[in-house]
Structure 1
Amino acid sequence: MPTEWKLFADLAERAGDKHVTVDAGAGDTVGAALTELVDDRPDLEGRVLTDDGELRSQINVLRNGTNVLVEEEGLETELEEGDELALFPPVSGG
């Protein structure tokens, strides 16, 4: 079953949409879903990934509202059916 990414701020602008469905589902990892997203929307790649293909340190990846980089197993976190993924750019206060 496909998984939907919610994109925020300039990431949505680069992708051309706030919601992008990718061909990753239960049993796949968050990293696999991220790869599908970047492959489908190449304008995101330079904003989300480093030249080495690593996730930029200031990008936040959430699964069902939980930051996978802090509270789960990072990009190795396994997806479950119905998961909602979100990608946030750096948040700056003001």
Structure 2
Amino acid sequence: MQWRLFATLAEAAGEAEAAVPTEGEVTLREAFDALLETHPSLEPEVFDEEGHLYDHVRLLVDGSDPFATGEGWDTTVDGDTELALFPPVSGG
């Protein structure tokens, strides 16, 4: 499974695209846990002290917010799913 990481998250992981080991269909949470297992430096960048995803971090599944349009962490993903993780972005 492939994750696309942007800005400071790519810097924390040391790469902009991260391949993680999963087999077949998994939940988004399982895919996210696999990402954190292979790139533990991301954990403090994406989770607060209580283990919740920071409000300012955006996680997209095939270009959509799974918490708004999908089943949240229970959204099913596979090797063909486009997964992306964004830190806060500001313009100027």
TM-score normalised by structure 2 residue count: 0.90
What do you get for the CA RMSD once the two structures are aligned? 1.3
Alignment check: 8 A CA contact 1:7 1:87 kept? yes
Give the total of aligned pairs.
Answer: 92
Matches within 5 A, 1:47-58: 47-58=45-56
Matches within 5 A, 1:60-71: 60-71=58-69
In the alignment, the residues of structure 2 paired with residue 8 and residue 86 of structure 1 have an alpha-carbon distance, to the nearest angstrom, of 8
In the alignment, the residues of structure 1 paired with residue 38 and residue 44 of structure 2 have an alpha-carbon distance, to the nearest angstrom, of 13
Structure 2: tracts of 5 or more residues without a match? none
Identical counterparts, % of pairs: 38
Task: Give 3-state SS (helix, strand or coil) of 1:66's partner.
Answer: coil
Alignment check: 8 A CA contact 1:25 1:79 kept? no
TM-score normalised by structure 1 residue count: 0.88
Moved over 2 A (4+): 24-27
Structure 1: tracts of 5 or more residues without a match? none
Cα deviation, residue 31, structure 1: 1.0
